[in-house]
Amino acid sequence: MFAPSSMQTPFSLAPGAAVPLPPAGRRRSVFANYRAQSASGPEELSGSPPQSLARAQATPGSAKAPQASAPQAVARAFLYRFLAKAFEDPTPTGWAWLCSTDTHAALRSVLDDFDSALGPRLRDSAERVLACLRPEGFEPFQDDYSAAFGHAARGRCPLNEIEYGDLKADPLFQPHRLADLAAFYRAFGLELAPDAAERHDHLCLELEFMSVLAAKEAYALQAALGHDLWELCRDSQKKFLREHLGRWTPAFTRQLVRTVDDGALGRLAVFIREFVEAECHAFGLTPGSEELLLRPVDEATESLCASCGIPNLPPGAVHSPA
């Protein structure tokens, strides 16, 4: 058990190298008490320590994976952060970060830290994404984003986990899934920002959480904090992939690829699918099925949304940001 308030997590590619951090300013999909201090220095978790880490206690030997090195953990943390930023409600500032030469260089650099079997495939997908991340591509990306995710209670490709699942059984587990996500976040002392409009199951929050865990893993290795803390970080990532992010991402990306053209968003869908599936395999997990169906739309709710202002909210939002 560790106190997140004092556990710093590195975010550097290599000695002297800097990871470009997302732009400052209001970000809705963010944990309020997890902040980056500098582009080349550590990140730290502020706030009170969690009441208990019982939710994420590691089982010795259960987090078996070949990626037990600090550089790869840092690389994975950056990839999760990059994807979280890419799937946020698009803004000119965020798009400028995605298109910057520093971000492109960092993405190429971190992919070099993956093993030889995985690296080439991810690099090919990443290069296809980067080819579309250009300043002039912002408006087409916005159009695709609106077409895919909409501005109603649910678009054609929902960004929320509990929208995907078994049509008969899954509704019974939807409250449990949300509660389980909240428990994961609390176990590591993470709190949603006051202006975070999304639910706990929003894709960007799940990606950011995995980024935090991977960064903590890197710090546990670099600072030689001991096997138990490293095991805790690894086991928590494995559980989160199995129970959440890895369960529904294949179905989400399949739906997204079917909805948008071969632009930046469509290529991001392929990239995130390949990355998350690779993560699952690295942890000895089977990725979720692409065949997961969307829950039926409540026509009454959709009709209400059309007249109550919800169309003006960001995709996945449950209330208007403050």
Of 151, 131, 120, residue with least CA distance to 278: 120
Q: Are 49 and 190 in contact (CB under 8 A)?
A: no
Q: How far apart are CA 85 and CA 204, in angstroms?
A: 7
Q: How far apart are CA 208 and CA 18, in angstroms?
A: 19
3-class state of residue 100 by DSSP: coil
Q: How far apart are CA 213 and CA 237, in angstroms?
A: 7
Identify any residues that bridge with 9 across adjacent strands, giving them in sequence order: 43
Identify any residues that bridge with 45 across adjacent strands, giving them in sequence order: 34
**Helix 170-187 crosses helix 203-222 at what angle (to 10 degrees)?**
40
Q: Which CATH number belongs to the domain containing residue 241 in this structure?
A: 1.10.3480.10
Task: Confirm whether 232 is domain-assigned.
Answer: yes
Task: Confirm whether 279 is domain-assigned.
Answer: yes
What is the model's pTM?
A: 0.77
Task: Confirm whether 320 is domain-assigned.
Answer: no
Measured between alpha carbons, how far apart are the two ends of the chain, in Å?
Answer: 35
Nearest-10 Cα torsion for 224, 228, 231, 232: -110
Instruction: Produce one character per residue of 148-169: b if its CB has 16 or more CB atoms within 10 Å, e if not.
Output: bbbeebbbebbbbbbbbbeeee
Task: Confirm whether 321 is domain-assigned.
Answer: no
Q: Are 102 and 20 in contact (CB under 8 A)?
A: yes
In the chain, how many domains are there? Answer: 1
Of 203, 220, 225, residue with least CA distance to 269: 203
Q: What does the longest C-alpha to C-alpha distance in the chain come to?
A: 56
Task: Confirm whether 54 is domain-assigned.
Answer: no
Instruction: Give the HSE-up count for residue 139: Cα atoms under 13 Å, Cβ half-sphere.
Output: 1
Task: Confirm whether 248 is domain-assigned.
Answer: yes
Task: Confirm whether 55 is domain-assigned.
Answer: no
**Measured CA distances, 193 to 9, 33, 159, 200, 322 (Å):** 20, 8, 18, 11, 11
Domain boundaries, position 186: 4-48+63-312
Q: What is the pLDDT along the chain (322 residues), one digit of tens a residue?
A: 222 333 344 444 433 345 566 665 444 445 555 554 333 333 433 332 233 333 333 333 344 443 458 888 999 999 999 999 999 999 999 999 999 999 999 999 998 877 656 678 899 999 999 999 999 999 999 999 999 998 655 678 999 999 998 766 556 677 888 999 999 999 998 988 777 778 899 999 999 999 999 999 999 998 888 889 999 999 999 999 999 999 999 999 999 999 998 999 999 999 999 999 999 999 999 999 999 888 876 654 444 444 433 333 444 444 444 4
Task: Confirm whether 53 is domain-assigned.
Answer: no
3-class state of residue 279 by DSSP: helix
